[in-house]
A and B are shown apart, each in its own frame.
Chain A
């Protein structure tokens, strides 16, 4: 079974790495400029000049997909960063004071966030503060906080009962220092696995928000927006909708495979968390 995990890991890393690289490359180079419209050349089929054809405004689809990768991946990555940056300290703090009022408040707050249908609240946030990529990041990021808090607390609690932590306490270290020096390195594996899962969910969420017009705003290209634009020209030009969708599916699939593979590689006993 170890072999299968490794295969998953490499296929997943290859797929998601490919789109991450495409997004990075788009920062410095795309085949065509996506901010320049060429209406005379709109809805062109794939050709030597435009490998994937052009969209309804004459923009090169390959360039759009590359630039869209940049947006989707950046939004999801920052949202994961928010989740780790705020959720992990909260979880560690709650674990260090298990059973205290702090622990209770952190965990009940988590339950509350889980009770909300995430998309409803994301839509509410973008509606109140206005649709933008930044507000989409905040809306997605908020829901990553309780996820990471829960994972960090659960893993930290089992560590707190172990002898090497007891030794550190006997040595007179404060609980905050123990959390950072001893607990955090030991739960890093778990956090990385959860991180890839949240990363893939973030890409799906960004696509959904942008698709209904509450995420990334034009002219910034994003896969969700491309799908929304494609809907009007769907009948004659299905490839406009199929290409960005495939990009989303392959990236998310790659991240999920990578998460599964990493989990097997880092700790075979680890249970996949419920999503």
Chain B
């Protein structure tokens, strides 16, 4: 319980600190947010009207409290360019971004776990070298460039997948998944490369342990001993990486969603920035950071479930 409580306190402190940083970056640093949003040619009257609309006449503290209070009650403000509540925009976009991140995480795990197991079981031999070389390459490839190559191969040369766009889930589950497949592969490959490397070294660390020797002594092959006993013990570093990857997937999606013209959260932030819609930028950034911090918290809790020794700390 003490462990969970300490993680919970750190969760709340991180969220509070993150909200201050984002608020300061967006609303305090650029000077007058209303003038910033409207650009150089705006007249005094329009700026004054926007100031009133955004509630900028209050003190910095009042505005901060208002913003955080609104976020807590589900009111993310009203987008200046779209003229609809940001919460509505987010709920339209999240049905693209979340499945995309989940799809990519699934692909990356499906690719990395067997690769890591094979590399660890055949350590120092050809399969290990092959997998390590492939993962070295996977880490070096920028995912948006890989995305362009995928489009060239699977959308232009062989017309198997669409080159971009999203038909909406109304068009059917498979149509939606087809549109998300190339983006998910592009996101998953570099993540799988990192995950496979971490899993391999975590497993290799386990091979020297007594319990693996016991499992081998009772007749399990080295591969089976690793799969049945080593994998669970190698989970802690793997969980850390999976937690970190969630944040990479959210952030990486900003660029990938732009490559494929997917109407997701990343593209929403990006459009917010190019249209200087600070309300959208501020709230959606906070939402993404909040997601990352909460996932980190969940990973910490998952440690305790995987490794009961941590619970007693």
Contact = CB atoms under 8 A, between A and B. Distances in A.
A231 B292 CA distance: 31
A248 B140 CA distance: 8
A207 B292 CA distance: 24
A208 interface: yes
B140 A252 contact: yes
B251 interface: yes
Interface residues of B, number: 50
A123 B289 contact: no
Interface in B206-263: 237, 240-241, 244, 247-248, 250-252, 254-255, 258-259
B4 interface: no
Contacts of B254: 119-120, 123, 212
Interface string A232-275: 00110010011001001110110011000000000000001011
A159 B72 CA distance: 46
B136 interface: yes
A120 B289 contact: yes
B137 interface: yes
A82 B119 CA distance: 37
Contacts of B21: 112, 116
B273 A127 contact: yes
A82 B125 CA distance: 40
B255 A208 contact: yes
A204 B142 CA distance: 6
A193 interface: no
A124 interface: yes
A245 B255 contact: no
A222 to B, nearest CB: 13
Given A112-B14, A238-B152, A120 B250 contact: yes
Most buried by B among A108, A127, A204, A252: A127
A256 B17 contact: no
B148 A227 contact: yes
B136 A257 contact: yes
Interface string B75-104: 000000000000000000000000000000
Given A120-B269, A241-B145, A234 B18 contact: no
Contacts of B269: 120, 123
Contact of B201 (A127, A235, A250, A272): A272
A101 interface: no
A22 B99 CA distance: 42
B285 interface: yes
Interface string B137-153: 10111101100110110
B243 to A, nearest CB: 11
Contacts of A257: 136
A96 B23 CA distance: 33
A10 interface: no
A108 to B, nearest CB: 8
A227 B292 contact: no
A231 B26 CA distance: 31
Contacts, number: 115
B304 interface: no
Interface of A is mostly: helix
A128 interface: yes
Interface string B280-292: 0100010011001
B29 interface: yes
A245 B292 contact: no
Contact of B288 (A108, A120, A207, A214): A120
A38 interface: no
A248 B148 CA distance: 14
Contacts of A212: 254-255, 258, 270
Interface string A172-193: 0000000000000000000000
Interface in B23-50: 25-26, 29-30
A242 B17 CA distance: 42
Most buried by B among A108, A117, A123, A250: A117
B141 A249 contact: yes
A125 interface: yes
Given A120-B251, A212-B254, A112 B292 contact: no
A245 B198 CA distance: 26
Interface of A: 108, 111-112, 115-120, 123-125, 127-129, 200, 204, 207-208, 211-212, 214, 227, 230-231, 234-235, 238, 241-242, 245, 248-250, 252-253, 256-257, 272, 274-275
Enumerate the 5 nearest inter-chain pairs by beta-carbon distance, A residue then B residue, closest first.
Answer: A117-B251, A119-B251, A245-B145, A127-B273, A253-B140
Given A117-B247, A274-B198, 16 more contacts: A111-B14, A112-B21, A116-B21, A119-B255, A120-B250, A123-B254, A123-B269, A128-B30, A208-B142, A211-B255, A212-B254, A238-B152, A245-B142, A245-B145, A248-B145, A252-B140
